Amino acid sequence: MKIVSKNRLLVGTAVLTLISGGLYGCKDFLSTNAVPQGTLVESTLQTAGGVEGTLVGAYRALDCTNNTSGPGWGCAASNWVFGSVVADDSYKGSTNTDQPPINDLEGYHWGGPQGQIYINQKWVLTYEGVVRANSTLRLLKKVLAASPGAFSTADAHAVEGEAIFLRAHYHFEAYRMWGNIPYYREDEVDAGEIPIIKANETSAEAVTDILKDLDAAIALLPTTPRAKGRASQWTAKAYKGRVQVYAGQYAAAVTTLQDVKTNGPYALEKSYDRVWTGFKQFADGPETIWAYQASSNDGEPNGNNANFGERLNFPYYTHFGCCGFNQPSFNLVNFYKVDAAGLPLALSDPNWNASSANFTAAATAPVDPRLDWTVGREGVPYKDWGLYNSNMVRDAGNGGPYSPKKNAHEQASGSEQIAGGWSPTQQNSVHMHLYRFADLLLLLAEAQVEGGDLSGAMANVNLVRARADSTAQGCGYRPTDASIVIAVGSAYPGCVGDARIAVPTNDPSIKWATYKVSQYTSFPSQAYAREAVRTERRLELAMEGQRFFDLRRWGLAYAAAAINGYIAVEKTRVTYKASADAFVAKHLLFPIPYLQVELSRTGGTDNLKQNTGW
């Protein structure tokens, strides 16, 4: 049996599923075989260990892998390029000439040769994940047929359920990008076990197949995951509710998501700093539904398991050394301002985005504390790395004065890659949330609004807001670090000796902001409730690669108004935005990579049909 990706279908994918510098957790898998081989043939893989190793390889495709992705970051687990930069959350940042494919994506020139590079990378890794999941399923069947006792019934079901769940996840990623996608199952291979070339399904057909796989996974998976980071029955149920909301199946989504909320194992973290963190004791906490399990200092010589996909997104000219990408926008920072009642200013003041000034610690406008968990801004402690300074920005004219923060590790966490590969200071083991409980609560609230249950929706929004009001960025005082650009103690004498990264929102140590976030007391109309939920999703999930997919699923009119309005203002702040195309109907789906359409051709006919407008 050969476990390979078909080059005509997935140019750039790994030839052998298990040969990956990113594979870990079974690093002695080959060496423990009686006759280690350079090629993975059926006799090597057809064991319980071979199945488990293949499954680990399927999980590994959640993030960029050095042997499948090539140079570039269109494959990052967080979708920071497609979900944040392409939306109104962030700019590409860095310099104009670095990573030019992102320029075309940010400017909505998606059919151009540069933008196509990243779009193809996303396709390649997404379908590599599908290939690996299906390879696991085929291998499992062979092992069980040859050695029925190789797995217990429970373990066999769990492996099968995990692989089917992963297949659903990867197809959902493809659906969010391209809508009309081919859907591959394990039995759709030729005699050499290479995937056949299939035509696209419609978006509706793809949703049906994703839900079918999730139902199958739910029936097979245990309620408790076999190991940290593995899918369980509750993971699949939560994911099903997410897909139902995306598909507009609101009544069904309420049933699914309410069951998970009421009976599942998930809960909000008590403090926001525990959501995005390098501290191991908080990894895979109660809020984690589904995350890429980044791993640092695990023996992989180049640190490629340590958030390869996020390594560009750190402040420049500091301890991290590079690279200044994915910089939060002025629009996003302004969005965190609140009114006198502590509710989002964007809901009550049409001029909420008027200011183009650098919103530093000297600003007095009250803000939601989630601003300083999300954005590095001048004069505010950057976790425990000292005070952020806009001089840390690589090119402020190109990307503004702010830096991303959620993906950064705490200095005290010890999660930084010690050595190996390029710029290890930018690599860490912060787990990349692909889906978390706050997201689920807000999806449930969204479905409740569409079903007319405004009080239920408000209650779920208020749960998220209550957690937001619990803690804010603290001093994080670490006086011995030479990389601190401005000493915290000099700027804020009261911080001397105060190493707390998280403090109550009214803590007297806070001198860099006025934090205020209040509960809603009413949703007076469905229209107001809908906008309140959508606003909360941005406040809570900003810079997490969700924003653009949210905007698009809320419809052409909504997305076009948000994005075209954003471009109109931002081109006065970062002038390169003036070259951006207007967001129009064709942008509701990314173009299927032109290369993949060409390679799908058989007998002069393209099996993959391009999305409308491209």
Question: pLDDT (tens digit, 9 = 90+) per residue, 303-338?
Answer: 889 998 999 999 998 899 899 999 999 999 999 999
Is the same domain home to 516 and 495?
yes
Q: Which of 30-44, 300-314, 475-489 has the highest mean pLDDT?
A: 300-314
Q: What average pLDDT does the segment 421-429 reach?
A: 92
pLDDT-derived band at 554 (thresholds 50, 70, 90) equals very high
Count of domains forming the chain: 2
Q: What average pLDDT does the segment 468-478 reach?
A: 96
- How distant, in Å, are the alpha carbons of 85, 103, 272, 591, 606 from that of 613? 22, 20, 41, 8, 17
Is the same domain home to 569 and 539?
no
Is the same domain home to 528 and 584?
no
Is the same domain home to 537 and 588?
no
What is the full DSSP assignment across 345-368? GGGT-TTTT---S---TT--S-B-
With vertex at residue 180, the alpha carbon angle to CA 138 and CA 89, rounded to the nearest 5 degrees, is 105
Question: Is residue 329 in a domain?
Answer: yes
Is the same domain home to 96 and 161?
yes
Picking from 332, 506, 297, the residue whose alpha carbon sits closest to that of residue 406 is 332
pLDDT-derived band at 558 (thresholds 50, 70, 90) equals very high
- How distant, in Å, are the alpha carbons of 210, 436, 585, 593, 612 from that of 609? 20, 34, 17, 11, 9
What is the full DSSP assignment across 278-310? --GGGTT-TTEEEEE----SSS-TT-TTTTGGG
Is the same domain home to 393 and 518?
yes
Residue 483: predicted pLDDT: 62
Question: Is residue 189 in a domain?
Answer: yes
Is the same domain home to 564 and 468?
no
Place of tokens 């500091």: 318
- How distant, in Å, are the alpha carbons of 245, 378, 428 from that of 447? 7, 38, 36
Expressed as residue numbers, the domain containing 501 is: 290-295+308-413+433-545
pLDDT-derived band at 479 (thresholds 50, 70, 90) equals confident
Question: Is residue 202 in a domain?
Answer: yes
Is the same domain home to 585 and 519?
no
Mean pLDDT, the chain, rounded, equals 91
Q: Mapping DSSP to helix (H, G, I), strand (E, B) and coil, where does residue 465 land? A: helix
Place of tokens 């599908």: 130
Domain boundary among 528, 545, 562: 545
Is the same domain home to 312 and 351?
yes
- Cis ω before 323 (30° cut-off from 0): yes
- List the single range of 24-33, 87-96, 372-381, 449-458 with lowest mean pLDDT: 24-33
- Which CATH number is 474's domain given? 1.25.40.390
Question: Is residue 276 in a domain?
Answer: no
Amino acid letter, residue 352: W
pLDDT at 563 over 80: yes
| Separation of alpha carbons 498 and 2, rounded Å | 58
Domain boundary among 545, 565, 580: 545
Q: What average pLDDT does the segment 96-109 reach?
A: 96
Digit-coded pLDDT (tens) for 65-90? 765 556 688 999 999 999 999 999 99
Digit-coded pLDDT (tens) for 579-597? 999 999 999 999 999 999 9
Question: Is residue 49 in a domain?
Answer: yes
Looking at the DSSP assignment, which residues form a beta bridge with residue 375? Answer: 404
Is the same domain home to 336 and 468?
yes
| Separation of alpha carbons 220 and 541, rounded Å | 31
Is the same domain home to 476 and 610?
no
Question: Is residue 126 in a domain?
Answer: yes
Question: Is residue 81 in a domain?
Answer: yes
Digit-coded pLDDT (tens) for 266-294? 999 999 999 999 999 999 999 999 999 99
Looking at the DSSP assignment, which residues form a beta bridge with residue 473? Answer: 502
Looking at the DSSP assignment, which residues form a beta bridge with residue 90? Answer: 328
| Separation of alpha carbons 25 and 30, rounded Å | 12
Is the same domain home to 463 and 489?
yes
Give the distance, in angstroms, between the CA of residue 239 and the centroid of all CA atoms in the same chain: 14
Question: Is residue 424 in a domain?
Answer: no
- Residues making up the chain, counted from first to last: 614
**Percentage above 90 pLDDT, the chain:** 85
Q: What average pLDDT does the segment 177-193 reach?
A: 91
Domain boundary among 514, 545, 576: 545
pLDDT at 21 over 60: no
